[in-house]
A = this chain, B = another copy of it.
Amino acid sequence: MYIPTFDDVKTARERVTPYIHKTPVLTSTFMNELTGAELFFKCENFQKAGAFKVRGASNAVFGLSDDVAAKGVATHSSGNHALSLSYAAGRRGIPCHVVMPRTAPQAKKDAVIGYGGIITECEPSTSSREAVFADVQAATGADFVHPYNDPRVIAGQATCSLELLEQTGGLDAVVAPIGGGGMISGTCLALSNVAPDVKIYAAEPKNADDAYRSFKAGHIIADDAPDTVADGLKVPLKDLTWHFVSNHVEDILIATEEEIVDAMKLIWKRMKIVMEPSSAVPLATIIKNKDLFAGKRVGVIITGGNVDLDKLP
């Protein structure tokens, strides 16, 4: 297992800059009064392909040698990594093979196809997606870019927190959603090097709290096909993300489905931005744990904006 270093992050930043947006950081008087903290929302919902995942995907795609790249890339994904890898592959002009659950939002499938991705469907469970993926990879010889358990992907995601830190001029804490742990691992990798005093909290749906239970148990616990409105956060930790989570995360905070939906509505209504239910989990946990964040400068990562507008919770 290769653990990415801060040098990898610096390389990634230079490599991905032409292909991504430097997304804005929004603040809200209402949200500050509600929570008692000073919140800085890093708006990756405005990112290319609609999510932070384009950072890691672009780092992987543009780091390939020409002969490896020629066979294309492949992945399995609950959605945003699929969009992002398709986008990055399209920018490089190479094929992108995507295994997606047949139950993934139609909006996400359409967007993958729109970016030129080639979809093979699987059942909505981790075991099925891994089996179908093995077939696709064997048939194409494409380079596997895992949605999160990949040092290239984690180094790419790390560029998000670097930007956030520069844009805010310093923070006491960062809260990001946790599914497989790619964004959190990137945050750990970046901040443990440039701002080791910043506390890193992961926010997770109670209905898919495998990372929370792993963190408390001290080893990875993986569930098959948990059910939550935060559909980007259903996947389990893997060895590489577990390394960062177990070494650098201060705590994992959980929120119920109702708390997540309430936080999402509050963001839509008061901040006027469209974001996914997954992106509302950090605010839900901050509202629930006010004492932890009161008086602090807190970065909140709005991870993506790809929501099916016809199927809002």
> Chain A 266-300, CB within 8 Å of chain B: the 1/0 string?
00110111110000000000000000000000000
Q: For A276, give the chain B residue with the smallest CB separation.
A: B272
A24 close to chain B: CB less than 8 A: yes
Neighbour of A272 across the interface among B107, B265, B269, B274, CB < 8 A? B274
A37 to B102, CA, bound (A): 37
A309 close to chain B: CB less than 8 A: yes
| Nearest-Cβ distance from residue A91 to partner chain B, whole angstroms | 11
- Residues on B with C-beta less than 8 A from A45 are 272
Interface residues on A, range: 10 to 19
A281 to B265, CA, bound (A): 25
| Nearest-Cβ distance from residue A280 to partner chain B, whole angstroms | 13
- Residues on B with C-beta less than 8 A from A50 are 272
A107 to B271, CA, bound (A): 15
Q: Is the CB of A265 within 8 A of B26?
A: no
A46 close to chain B: CB less than 8 A: yes
Q: Is the CB of A268 within 8 A of B272?
A: no
- Residues on B with C-beta less than 8 A from A305 are 272
A272 to B279, CA, bound (A): 13
Q: Is the CB of B272 within 8 A of A272?
A: no
| Nearest-Cβ distance from residue A92 to partner chain B, whole angstroms | 17
Q: For A28, give the chain B residue with the smallest CB separation.
A: B46
A286 to B271, CA, bound (A): 26
- Residues on B with C-beta less than 8 A from A268 are 274, 309
Neighbour of A273 across the interface among B107, B265, B269, B273, CB < 8 A? B273
A190 to B271, CA, bound (A): 28
Q: Is the CB of B265 within 8 A of A309?
A: yes
Neighbour of A46 across the interface among B269, B272, B274, CB < 8 A? B272
> Chain A 194-222, CB within 8 Å of chain B: the 1/0 string?
00000000000000000000000000000
Within 8 A of B (CB), among A10-59: 24, 26, 45-46, 50
| Nearest-Cβ distance from residue A306 to partner chain B, whole angstroms | 8
Q: Could you say which of A272, A273, A274 has the most chain B C-beta atoms within 10 Å of its C-beta?
A: A272
9 contacts between A and B (CB under 8 A): A46-B271, A50-B272, A265-B309, A268-B274, A269-B274, A272-B273, A272-B305, A273-B274, A274-B274
Known contacts A265-B309, A272-B274; 17 additional CB pairs below 8 A are A24-B24, A26-B46, A45-B272, A46-B271, A46-B272, A50-B272, A107-B269, A268-B274, A268-B309, A269-B274, A269-B309, A272-B273, A272-B275, A272-B305, A273-B273, A273-B274, A274-B274
Closest A-B pairs by Cβ, 10 of them: A272-B305, A272-B274, A45-B272, A268-B274, A46-B272, A24-B24, A268-B309, A274-B274, A269-B309, A273-B273
